[in-house]
Amino acid sequence: MTSSPNPVPAEFPRTHYLNAAYGLKSWLWTRDHKRIALLYLVSVSVFFALGGLMAVLIRMELATPEGDFFQPDVYNRLFTMHGVLMIFFFLIPGIPAVLGNFLIPLMIGAKDLAFPRINLLSWYLYTIGGAFTLWALLHGGVDTGWTFYTPLSTNYVNTAVLTVGVGIFIAGFSSILTGLNFIVTIHRMRAPGLTWFRLPLFVWGHYATSIIQILGTPVVAIAILMVAAERVLHIGFFDPKLGGDPVLFQHLFWFYSHPAVYIMILPAMGVISELVAAFSRKPIFGYKFVAFASIGIAVLGFLVWGHHMFVAGQSIYAGVVFSVLSMLVAVPSAVKVFNWTATLYKGSISWDTPMLYALGFIGLFTIGGLTGVMLATLGIDAHVHDTYFIIAHFHYIMVGGAIMGYLGGLHYWWPKITGRMYPVFWSKLSALVIFIGFNVTFFPQFILGYLGMPRRYHSYPPEFQVLNVMSSAGATILGIGYLMPLVYFVWSMRYGPRATANPWGATGLEWQTTSPPPVENFAYPPVVTAPPYTYEAQPAAGKGAARVV
């Protein structure tokens, strides 16, 4: 926005969305997308903490080769619940429900999402689904693995499969409604002058994510219903003893669960685009390529599910088709990484905390993505399937990628969301601790996997111990790294310095309103007249945040 027609917002607002109304009802019955985003922030943080606790317990067990900490069936419940909580209740809602909900209307100059009450309904569905799952957790949990393959899950366990299934089913509708809301909002509620190719890449990323959410989630919902039917009514969809086919479940499950991983990563990529542009003070290199790459990943992502089933008994020719398609889906991701790197060239780069997370993402996502390409290679996957190599791969993407994107986004937009800044030294230190802890935890797992250590093993041959101890040590460091932001973010809400409207000097409509924003988002309806990420140089001045108009 070179010369913005929009008025300059007040320095520190007296009333804004946080203090416009008080009381429990004003929060639990709100239609304001910003408050709903904060409701989600609290819920996903709770599930992240629980899932993280499971991880700590798992790594404690795995520090020794013998299964001496927990009984096997307790351990099996731990890794199952870790997966279920992290995937369905943290990573999938994660960035879209917290950052997407808060920012999309602001970024497009709207007063709210298209369907505010459906937005609130989404949060309630998510919470109810989560409640079911927590209830199951307290009543012994589930021990089928988060992938609950049949016929193990339908006929061979007597744990709370049904309860957790219901919880995930309900939470799935939360995801579908969020996606629906975003699609309609982005199509219909953009400010005057905001054409599709003037949208921030964060919005493109969420648009692509929403497509996956609405198309993929219903299929896993049906798969869950069929598992329930088989468990309760003994209808033979999947158990051969009742006339069914166990591999059919895998097809229905992975048809959603593969695109689901793109639900988890595309929003993070959207965040990274914003961070790299803001902290290089220039447009993203190849904006259109990055925008189309998001859509490309969403579409191609629906065609590759069989790469989870190379050795599952499907025909080797099907494997060939899925392998080549999986190679194709790697290309748009690679393009994004190259474009972010090229953006740094001749940028004006500041080493603020959000940028540190973005850089960590680029490095770790590259490694995670390239190991994914190894898994798409039939000959390699046949060896490392269901080993710690797989675990390392997806944690590099999910934790090294998605979670770092989430944290980077939180640190970037925190001043906008709360009107406060957090202590800079501690934020940079924790980014470093998280980066180190993450690598020490998960890098050894690549080696363990290739050596042959299978996943979901409670005990293992003693020759694998050294690498497991390294991994467990790393997990401790990582855990500490995650606790630090919790402390200083909460501290900042009371004691942090007040933030101005645009503390980073970035472009984007969200920075053209106060921190925190008013209930209606903008004092005056914004108008857009320039491409995104358009910066105007200021003369070399003394200290103080640049005022970019």
Contact range with another protein by CB under 8 A, out of 16-24, 85-93, 127-135, 220-228: 220-228
Q: Examine residue 353 and tell whether it contacts another protein (CB under 8 A).
A: no
Q: Examine residue 471 and tell whether it contacts another protein (CB under 8 A).
A: no
Q: Which of residues 163-202 bind another protein (CB under 8 A)?
A: 176, 180, 183-185, 187-189
Question: Helix crossing, 404-418 with 33-61: angle to 10°?
Answer: 140
Q: Give the shortest CB-45-to-another protein separation in angstroms.
A: 28
220, with CB counted inside 10 A (0-12, 13-18, 19+), is buried
CA distances from 241 to 196, 234, 236, 248 (A): 54, 10, 8, 14
Cα gap 548→53, rounded to integer Å:
43
Which residue of 21, 424, 487, 545 would you call a contact of another protein, by CB under 8 A?
545
- DSSP 8-state symbol, 216: H
Closest CA to 489 of 410, 371, 432: 410
Q: Give the shortest CB-82-to-another protein separation in angstroms.
A: 14
Q: Give the shortest CB-383-to-another protein separation in angstroms.
A: 4
Q: Which of residues 252-291 bind another protein (CB under 8 A)?
A: 252, 280-283, 285-287, 289
Cα gap 394→316, rounded to integer Å:
24
Q: Examine residue 236 and tell whether it contacts another protein (CB under 8 A).
A: yes
Q: Examine residue 296 and tell whether it contacts another protein (CB under 8 A).
A: no
Q: Give the shortest CB-233-to-another protein separation in angstroms.
A: 5
Which residue of 447, 473, 493, 523 would you call a contact of another protein, by CB under 8 A?
447
What residue has token string 């996903």?
44
Q: Examine residue 377 and tell whether it contacts another protein (CB under 8 A).
A: yes
Q: Which of residues 118-157 bind another protein (CB under 8 A)?
A: 118, 143-145, 149, 151-152, 156-157
Q: Which residues contact 515 (CB under 8 A, 6 or more apart)?
A: 13, 415, 416, 418, 419, 499, 500, 501, 503
Q: Give the shortest CB-251-to-another protein separation in angstroms.
A: 8
Q: Examine residue 363 and tell whether it contacts another protein (CB under 8 A).
A: yes
Q: Give the shortest CB-263-to-another protein separation in angstroms.
A: 14
What own/partner pairs with CB < 8 Å and gap ≥ 24 does 203-206 have? 203/104, 203/107, 203/108, 203/270, 204/270, 204/290, 204/291, 204/294, 204/295, 205/266, 205/267, 205/269, 205/270, 205/271, 205/273, 205/294, 206/96, 206/100, 206/104, 206/182, 206/266, 206/267, 206/270
Within 13 A of 82's CA, how many CA atoms are on the CB side? 17
Q: Give the shortest CB-120-to-another protein separation in angstroms.
A: 13
Which residue of 1, 18, 226, 398 would you call a contact of another protein, by CB under 8 A?
226
Please check whether residue 99 is in contact with residue 409, taking contact to mean a CB–CB distance below 8 angstroms: yes
Q: Which of residues 425-444 bind another protein (CB under 8 A)?
A: none
Query: Residue 79, Cα to own-chain centre: how many angstroms?
Result: 19
Which residue of 221, 291, 417, 528 would you call a contact of another protein, by CB under 8 A?
221
Nearer to another protein among residue 112 and residue 274 (C-beta): 112
Closest CA to 403 of 167, 118, 55: 55
Which residue of 16, 111, 428, 498 would you call a contact of another protein, by CB under 8 A?
111
Nearer to another protein among residue 134 and residue 359 (C-beta): 359
Binding-site size for another protein (CB under 8 A) equals 138
Residue 410 tokens read as 């939180």
Contact range with another protein by CB under 8 A, out of 131-139, 161-169, 397-405, 538-546: 538-546
Q: Which of residues 478-537 bind another protein (CB under 8 A)?
A: 505, 525, 535-537
Residue 366 tokens read as 């590259």
Q: Per-residue x/- mask for another protein, residues 58 to 77, rule CB under 8 A?
A: ---------x----xx--x-
Q: Examine residue 227 and tell whether it contacts another protein (CB under 8 A).
A: no
Q: Give the shortest CB-307-to-another protein separation in angstroms.
A: 11
Nearer to another protein among residue 140 and residue 536 (C-beta): 536
Q: Give the shortest CB-362-to-another protein separation in angstroms.
A: 6
Q: Which of residues 3-62 bind another protein (CB under 8 A)?
A: none
Nearer to another protein among residue 49 and residue 349 (C-beta): 349
Nearer to another protein among residue 310 and residue 422 (C-beta): 310
Which residue of 247, 299, 484, 523 would you call a contact of another protein, by CB under 8 A?
247
CA gyration radius, the chain: 23
Within 13 A of 355's CA, how many CA atoms are on the CB side? 18
Cα gap 449→384, rounded to integer Å:
6
